[in-house]
Amino acid sequence: MPVLGALPTLVESFGRQAASTPDRIALVAGDERLTYAALDEAVDRLAARLAGAGARPGTLVGICAAKSAACVTAMLAVLRTGAAYLPLDPAHPAARVELVLADSRADLLLTEGEPVTTAVPVLRLDGEHPPAAPVPTAPPDPSSPAYVIYTSGSTGTPKGVVVPHRALANLLAGMRELVGSTAGDVWLSAASLTFDMSVPELYLPLVTGGRLVLVDPKAALLGKRLAALIEREGVTHMQATPSGWRVLLYAGFRGPRLTALAGGEALPAALAGDLRSRVGRLVNMYGPTEAAVWATSWEVPIEPATVSIGDPLPGATVHVVDDGLDEVGQGELAIGGVCVADGYLGRPALTADRFVPDPYGEPGSRLYLTGDVVRRTGAGLEYLRRADTQVKVRGYRVELGEVEAAMDGLPGVRQSVAAVSGDALVAFVVGDCPDLRRRLAAILPAYMVPTRVIPLDSVPLTPNGKIDRRALEEKI
């Protein structure tokens, strides 16, 4: 696919859209409806307060708030100051939020209600605040960070992916070209703000004159309620993981005018065929956080026999490589181009390991090594498996090593192994920790807490001394 030319940043694109269509509805959140002018004014007010509190280029602002119009306003306001934002989920355990804040060294925290920490200067989103001086209007540098999203880490500590404005702008331009997003479209945003899948569904409608409809991630699990909202608001575009689409399909959903995008997990052919028969258009998306959400796409035909992750979006390049980075028919997927993130926040060694010089690109360009094993087919790329122990649980990336490290740190646990059965996490535990799940829920997000705990006298080993995962699978 061709590389897109110089692109305006999200800050510039939203500002221009608000100026050209001030009276059009931009955002719907429950009973709240904001025009582009009202949203732009709210962004300006908060950006001024943020600037007065020290937000500026080179700083990082944490946002710990429920998904709402105020939260979207906060993200846009942070970007307008030139700072980058870090989404934090108030539903996550306080220990997890504090861990991410400490690791990120955030300069400021925007929050609703009582702050989760006193280690970072706090600015409250709720309550009355005096007006502040206008914020400088210079657009952010395309190479500066736009946001940081934390993903699971194999060493037991989550890691922050730093995504620059140029990659975000490229994503929005490429997605606009892919799905033809226009001023007449209505996008549903159902993903958690800490899940990078939320990025295109939040911002693409706001830079194309469309309408953004917010739904709480928990409400998205209620199929009939979500289907009714889609019908009532006239939603034309929606993203979801395959697990999320199953919830809607089980509720009897049909959306013949809907453009459906599936991603975050492997899309089974049977599910793809069922979903495609009920919607106007289905696109299978693939991409890691390190390549600004989506890097490839595949238009799903009626009655697909197999499922592909397709070909690269504009601004992305893909290579199937061996250990020497030579092109092969089947191997690890490496992604290059404008979409590639800056790396991992404060982790130079890990960044150097996964973000490597691109032998196929311009001097100074880099490839991100995904750890996904794929092969080339006539329909594009076919995903085969992971090359490591990273898994997907309801669309979230989970390093089994991080779950195991958390379990091993609990009293009474002598050894643990985490595994996946279907779309659920399973824990094998040697030792005695009867309240293991409750203890884990105090330090890990809910999607990382195993749904089933299987006690063992000892962990089975292969003849060469490695964990015998096949023997463990037989115990599930």
pLDDT tens sequence across 270-319: 889 999 999 999 999 999 999 999 999 999 999 898 899 999 999 999 99
Confidence of residue 405 (pLDDT cuts 50, 70, 90): confident
Residue corresponding to tokens 């990659």: 167
State the average pLDDT for the chain. Answer: 89
Mean pLDDT of 122-127: 82
Q: What is the pTM of this model?
A: 0.84
Identify the DSSP state of 278.
Answer: T
3-state secondary structure of 286: strand
- Domains in the chain, ordered, with CATH? 10-311 (3.40.50.12780), 390-473 (3.30.300.30)
Q: Report the length, in residues, of the chain.
A: 476
3-state secondary structure of 181: coil
The candidate with the shortest Cα–Cα distance to 12, out of 143, 137, 114, is 137
The residues pairing with 52 across neighbouring beta strands, listed in sequence order, are none
Predicted pLDDT at 1:
42
Confidence of residue 260 (pLDDT cuts 50, 70, 90): very high
CA of 126: how far to CAs of 74, 77, 111, in Å? Answer: 11, 15, 8
The residues pairing with 148 across neighbouring beta strands, listed in sequence order, are 162
Least confident of 177-191, 351-365, 454-468: 454-468
Contacts of 363 by beta carbon, 8 Å cutoff, 6+ apart: none
Measured at the CA of 24, the angle between CA 20 and CA 29, to 5 degrees, comes to 130
Predicted pLDDT at 238:
96
Inform me whether the pLDDT recorded for 463 exceeds 60.
Answer: no
Residue corresponding to tokens 């299987």: 454
Identify the DSSP state of 114.
Answer: S
132 vs 177 pLDDT, higher one: 177
**What digits encode the pLDDT tens for the residues 429-440?**
989 988 899 999
> β-pairing, 237-240 with 186-189?
parallel
Mean pLDDT of 76-97: 93
118 vs 472 pLDDT, higher one: 472
Confidence of residue 127 (pLDDT cuts 50, 70, 90): low
- In percent, how much of the chain has pLDDT > 90? 61
Under 8 Å between Cβ of 229 and 239:
no
Predicted pLDDT at 93:
87
Predicted pLDDT at 421:
81
Least confident of 71-80, 217-226, 233-242, 333-342: 217-226
Mean pLDDT of 335-359: 95
Residue corresponding to tokens 């009293």: 411
Distance between CA 6 and CA 11 in Å, rounded? 15
Between the ranges 208-212, 399-403, 467-471, where is the mean pLDDT highest?
208-212
3-state secondary structure of 119: coil
Distance between CA 157 and CA 151 in Å, rounded? 9
34 vs 403 pLDDT, higher one: 34
The candidate with the shortest Cα–Cα distance to 57, out of 123, 144, 138, 135, is 144
How many C-alpha atoms does 372 have within 13 Å on its Cβ side?
25
The residues pairing with 356 across neighbouring beta strands, listed in sequence order, are 367
